[in-house]
Amino acid sequence: MATSSDILYSVRNLTVEYETRHGVVKGVDDVSLDIRRGEILGLVGESGSGKSTLGKAMMRLRNGSARITSGELWFDGQNLMELSERQMRDLRGSRLGMVFQDPMTSLNPVQRIVEHLTETMLTHEPEWTEEEARARAEELVERLGIRRERVKDYPHQMSGGMRQRVMIALALALNCDLVIADEPTTSLDVIVEAKFLDLLKELRDEFNLTILLITHNIGVVAEVADRVAVMYAAKLVEIGDVNQVFEKPLHPYTEGLLKSVPNIELDSGALYKMEGSPPDLSSPPPGCRFHPRCPYMMEEVCPIYDPPFAPPEGASEDTRVACWLHHPHPQKVAIGA
């Protein structure tokens, strides 16, 4: 079990609400999550399950009408919720970095690559000179496999893979401790994606990075992540070691996800397709949110009681799951008492 000093970032009971015309939508609902120093934690879930909302909230970035309504964000011993906006801004880009899904749209089209880098550096390290920043920018870009001269280019002159490496460079510019990468490879083709993931692993060792890798692609997680967290309808349903989760998923949703991945070895023709579709977050189903789609649904428990997100009976603290299959049923508890 990880000791507290191993934990770099800890999300505790975080709830994020969106104000919409159809009422309040909880994009993230009572989520708790620990990220350990130096690990790559994969966060998977379908689109709309709240992954980006969680990632942005972890940096306390405003996203539309989103508001953090409760919870604590502990980063390296300090509660981010208690920091002023100014202090928060100082952390962003210097200790907390973010890489977005679409590198095409996440770089300023009228700013040269080098300007992106130097601007970030000089914002956080005002005493650096322009030349120092520029030199460091070139060095960094070169380390990431982009020719030095290309820093003078504009974003539109670069390929998707190069732009995504620039985004990483921006997070490395000041040696961020934690990089939140929100679907960084979704818009890249498969070969570029593989190279990028390799690079990510290398950088993690070289720069002592901790990475929260958000993706809806289980293959990506399998390839690079140390641990994996599964999100469904604004809640975490399972977290654990990658190998363990992939071998023996505890939550029926995780199981469904894994079964729906084309498996070359088996190649048994028809691909598994999960029943139903994710719930509308403005009125999520009561009890376990997955129960309407769950093949193991237990009539007397699942639609009524919300399962706790806790280690299953008899398992180690490292694994957690939110499913009544692995927790004592509330009725039984009540009868036993």
Partner 1 sequence: MNLPVQDQETAVPQWEEELARVGFVRRLLRARKWYGADWWFVAISSVMVLAFIVVALFPQWFAPYGPHEQVGPRFLAPGETPDLPLLIVRADSGLSTLEDLATGPDDEVSRPPIAVLRGAPTAGALREQAALLDDELQESDSGLRLRPNIRRYDTVEEVLQAVQEGEAFAAVLSSVQYEEAAGQFPDLDAPSDISGGVASAGDFLLGTNQIGQDVYSRLIWGTRVALIIGFSASLVALFLGVPLGLVAGYAGGKIDRVMTVFMDSLYAFPGLILAIAITAVLGPSILNVIIAIAVLYIPTYYRIVRGQTLSVKQEVYVEAARSIGAKPSTILRRYIYPNVIPSVSIIFSVNIADAIITGAGLSFLGLGLPPSTADWGIDIARGQEFIQTAWWLVTFPGLAIMLVVLAFTMLGEGLTEILNPKLRDR
Partner 2 sequence: MSPLALIFLIIGIPALIGLAYIFVRGSAGLRRYILTRIGLLIPMVFILASLVFFVMRVLPGDPVRSSLGPKGSAETVARMREQLGLDDPLIVQYGRFLGDIVTLDFGNSLTGGRRPIIDEMSERFPATLELVIPAAGLALLIGIVGGTLAAARRKRPFDYALRLYSVVIYSIPVFWLGLIFQLVFGVRLGWTPIAGRIDPVIATTLERTTNILWLDAIITGNWAALWSSLSHLVLPVVTLGLILSGVFLRLTRVNVIETLQMEYIGAARARGIRERIVVGSHALKNAIIPVITLLGLQVAILLAGAVLTETVFSWPGMGQYLVQRISSRDYTAVQSVITMFAMLVALISLAVDIVYSLVDPRVRY
Asked if 217 touches partner 2 (CB under 8 A), the answer is no
Contact 31, 11 (CB under 8 A): yes
- Letters for 240-279 (x = contact with partner 2 by CB under 8 A, - = none) are ----------------------------------------
CA triplet 94, 174, 145: central angle to 5 degrees? Answer: 135
Neighbours of 242 (CB within 10 A): 18
Q: Rounded distance, CA 140 to CA 153, Å?
A: 15
Could you give the 3-state DSSP secondary structure of residue 46? coil
Side-chain-side CA neighbours of 54 within 13 Å: the count stands at 37
Token digits of residue 21: 């015309």
Binding piece for Mg ion, criterion CB under 5 A, among 52-60, 188-196, 263-271, 289-297 = 52-60
Asked if 52 touches Mg ion (CB under 5 A), the answer is yes
The one-letter code for the residue type at 15 is T
Min dist CB 331 to partner 1, Å, is 33
Q: Rounded distance, CA 90 to CA 190, Å?
A: 36
Which positions from 249 through 268 interact with partner 1, judged by CB under 8 A? 257, 260-262
Could you give the 3-state DSSP secondary structure of residue 71? strand
Residue 92 interacts, among Mg ion, partner 2, ligand ADP, none and using kind-specific CB cut-offs from 5 to 8 Å, with: partner 2
Min dist CB 25 to partner 1, Å, is 13
Could you give the 3-state DSSP secondary structure of residue 277? coil
Asked if 21 touches partner 1 (CB under 8 A), the answer is yes
Determine the straight-line distance between the first and last CA of the chain, rounded to whole angstroms: 31
Neighbouring-strand partners of residue 213: 42, 181
Asked if 209 touches partner 2 (CB under 8 A), the answer is no
Contact 75, 12 (CB under 8 A): no
Asked if 108 touches partner 2 (CB under 8 A), the answer is yes
Q: At what angle do helices 113-124 and 160-172 cross, to 10 degrees?
A: 10
DSSP symbol at 91: H
Asked if 184 touches partner 2 (CB under 8 A), the answer is no
Nearer to ligand ADP, 146 or 188 (CB): 188
Nearer to partner 1, 70 or 277 (CB): 277
Nearer to ligand ADP, 50 or 103 (CB): 50
Q: Nearest 10 degrees: CA dihedral of 35, 40, 97, 180?
A: -80
CA proximity to 179, closest of 163, 200, 149? 200
Min dist CB 1 to ligand ADP, Å, is 29
Asked if 123 touches partner 2 (CB under 8 A), the answer is yes
Min dist CB 219 to partner 1, Å, is 4
Residue 152 interacts, among Mg ion, partner 2, partner 1, none and using kind-specific CB cut-offs from 5 to 8 Å, with: none
Asked if 164 touches Mg ion (CB under 5 A), the answer is no
Q: Rounded distance, CA 44 to CA 236, Å?
A: 10
- Letters for 274-293 (x = contact with partner 1 by CB under 8 A, - = none) are x--xx---------------
CA proximity to 175, closest of 95, 70, 92? 95
Min dist CB 278 to ligand ADP, Å, is 8
The residue within the footprint of partner 2, chosen from 13, 70, 105, 277 (CB under 8 A), is 105
The residue within the footprint of partner 2, chosen from 1, 110, 334, 335 (CB under 8 A), is 110
> Using CB under 8 A as the criterion, which residues of the chain lie in contact with partner 2 when the complex forms?
56, 59, 61-63, 89-94, 97-98, 100, 102, 105-111, 119-120, 123-124, 154, 156, 167, 170
> Using CB under 8 A as the criterion, which residues of the chain lie in contact with partner 1 when the complex forms?
21, 44-48, 216-219, 257, 260-262, 273-274, 277-278
